[in-house]
Structure 1
Amino acid sequence: MSDRFRDLLRKIGSGPHTGENLNRTEAADAMKMMLLQEATPAQIGAFLIAHRIKRPTSEELAGMLDGCDQFASKLQPLSTPPLLLNCPYDGRSRTAPVTPLTALIVATAGVPVILHGGDTMPTKEGITLTEIWQRLGVDWTTLTFEQVQQVLETTHLGFVYLPAHFPEAAALVPYRREIGKRPPLATMELMWCPYAGVATLACGYVHPPTELLFRETFKWRGMTQFITVKGLEGSCDLPRDRTCIIGVHQACDPAQEDSDLERLLLHPDEYGFAGKEVQLESLTQLLTDIQAVLEGKACELMQAAVWNGGFYLWQCGVSSDLESGLLTAKQLLIDGKVADKLETLQLAVQG
């Protein structure tokens, strides 16, 4: 048992009248003790549920990310700053994920893309990015971290697989099932950056207060270049059945409150992309639909892929505006270049 951890647990778990928030250093210490298993299982479980009930502060989340950075390996800087698509680790259960197609489109255009995640995970236990890539013939679970770096450099795509590349964090996953609720770790992972250089983070969320938490946490950590997306099931996937609520934060002086925020309200109907979201019927059906998109066939998932791919091509500077980004994304799919990128990726990972 860790007496130090017990003191931090007592601080956040004492209730609304006598409880206190942790400072950044204390939160980093707590995270390190959980990652190293210096805290007992009883202490870790109590901390995670107490922290959820209290609600984490931005300073605490910044400290917990600091703690992760001391143990997690980082992909090394590339000549072109990458795009990180940060999505909930517990996957999708209602709507078809378009994130892998978005990543392939952006990578085909020459911009590196990094994703991260793990295996089926509580509490949603939805379909994960890991499973989708495996069914696409890209098994990231077999690669060492050094091999992921090589694949990223040669194909512009990389995936950090938690059990193999950050096992200390993966060891905390069972607590999610045991406490029956998403712990603050589930919010923290949406802001994690397993990359050592300058990058643009796209962070998905469901509830508006989470976006404010993103902005305040990044301010603590000096990050000024990120995109917040009120996406499908908390992912980075832009919806087509409602207005897209997006915050674009460009690099500037972090001391100036909200001076870097550009609020985008994108109406899919104004661009000809309004429609019902593609429902997630099964993994088999999803792969059939993805294959149709890669073959350039017209379908609802094709619309979703172009809508998302075009937006991120615009935000990564490949296209000067959204309209041209949409045209470029569609052409890359129709010409078979995205399918070629997938084949190149398959060969790189298998090799």
Structure 2
Amino acid sequence: MKSVKNLNSQELMKSVIQRIATGPELSKNISRDEAKQAMRAILRGEVSEFRAAIFLIALRMKRETDDENLGVQDAINEEIKPKQVNAENLINIADPYDGYTRNVPSSVFVLPILSELGYACISQGVESVGPKYGCTHHLILKLLGLNVSASLEQTADRLEDESIGWGYIDQKIFAPKLFSLMNLRSEIIKRPLITTLEVLANPLISKKNHFVTGFVHKPYPPIYLMLARNAGFDSSIVIREQRVGCSFIKTEKIFHFYRSPDEEDESFEIDPINELDIKQDARAVPFPASISKEDKNDKIETKVDPMEVAKDLSNKVWMPLG
């Protein structure tokens, strides 16, 4: 068998699919380099959408290994050309690109608060993507009047302006080839590994870069922290149940983090009642009662109109845009 370097894109993808798409018991893992080369071929349009879809869903059904996650991330990172920002620290708040379907996406309003405290910060995302098609930072910020199609240079200028210090950058701007897969992802229906990896994009970098995201499923913290290191983040923290609200209902390990890439992962529990004097039944601020809900057979896709949620927030909240 030829080495990966000697295979053309069609030969490589055929070889990879033959191994990863043979069922739960017979499927085989591929190397980090094979995963990188396969994803690179997809991003460059060198293989058909049919093969691209099979590759992505087969990895999902087989369950991706660390090497496969890292390899696909390597290909995505290769496409992104980071813009240097003149700042000591930059915090990347990476909420899920498919948005919120059960509660108000309040994390978007943390951006100007952090900047007021002297920490440059960004959010990133897209207008809408499955499987949830929820309310996103893009929708909210657009209705509030921010240019959500700003270039890397324009966003860097906002970060370097001490009177602003925060910004939003859209995937279609910093990773157009990755963004071009949106229609394919809609056809796949199930979330591919891209959904995990895209939030770790690092399109704007400063002297020190810090990654913040949330997780729902317990196996994910070490995966996110591994990928954050590979993306070049100097520190990283993943927070329990950010997607449906940070849980302060019971004692549990809410924070998982590393202080520097060469240090071990850490985590700690919080007893919200005794340590923080927080007593509440709800995990997060729910959607207003005025937001209409639609019954759907799809249990994943949002039952509310994300634009209606964004409009409600933009009418109630003032946000300094700079």
TM over 0.5: yes
CA pair 146-266 structure 1, distance change in 2 beyond 3 A: farther
How many angstroms apart in 2 are the aligned matches of 1:115 and 1:56? 27
Contact 1:190 1:204 in 2 (8 A): no
Contact 1:90 1:120 in 2 (8 A): yes
TM-score normalised by L of structure 1: 0.75
- Aligned residue in 2 for 1:15: 23
- Aligned residue in 2 for 1:135: 143
Of 206, 218, 243, 2:216 maps to 206
1:175-231 alpha-carbon deviations (Å, 9 max, x no partner) = 222121111111112333223443111121110011132234445667562101112
How many angstroms apart in 2 are the aligned matches of 1:265 and 1:179? 38
Q: Name the SS of the counterpart of 1:248 in structure 2.
A: strand
Of 268, 277, 281, 1:263 maps to 268
Higher strand content, 1 or 2: 2
Residue correspondence of structure 1 range 110-259 to structure 2 within 5 A: 110-141=118-149, 143-154=150-161, 155-197=164-206, 198-218=208-228, 225-233=235-243, 238-243=246-251, 245-251=254-260, 253-254=262-263, 259=264
After the TM superposition, which of the residue ranges 129-138 and 75-84 deviates more from structure 2?
Answer: 75-84
Of 29, 37, 43, 1:35 maps to 43
1:228-263 alpha-carbon deviations (Å, 9 max, x no partner) = 1112326xx534445561112101635xxxx34142
Contact 1:96 1:286 in 2 (8 A): no
How many angstroms apart in 2 are the aligned matches of 1:232 and 1:3? 41
In structure 2, give the amino acid aligned to 1:53.
Answer: M
- Aligned residue in 1 for 2:33: 25
Contact 2:20 2:30 in 1 (8 A): yes
Q: Does the alignment pair 1:82 with 2:90?
A: yes
Contact 1:59 1:217 in 2 (8 A): no
Deviation at 1:16, TM superposition (A): 3.5
How many angstroms apart in 2 are the aligned matches of 1:66 and 1:252? 17
Contact 1:92 1:233 in 2 (8 A): yes
CA pair 232-269 structure 1, distance change in 2 beyond 3 A: farther
State the identity %. 23
Contact 2:211 2:233 in 1 (8 A): no
CA pair 11-207 structure 1, distance change in 2 beyond 3 A: same
Contact 1:87 1:203 in 2 (8 A): yes
CA pair 270-118 structure 1, distance change in 2 beyond 3 A: same
How many angstroms apart in 1 are the aligned matches of 2:234 and 2:17? 31
**Aligned Cα RMSD in Å?**
2.5
Q: Name the SS of the counterpart of 2:167 in structure 1.
A: strand
Q: Name the SS of the counterpart of 2:79 in structure 1.
A: coil
CA pair 287-8 structure 1, distance change in 2 beyond 3 A: same
How many residue pairs get aligned? The number is: 291
Deviation at 1:289, TM superposition (A): 5.4
CA pair 285-167 structure 1, distance change in 2 beyond 3 A: closer
In structure 1, give the amino acid aligned to 2:153.
Answer: E
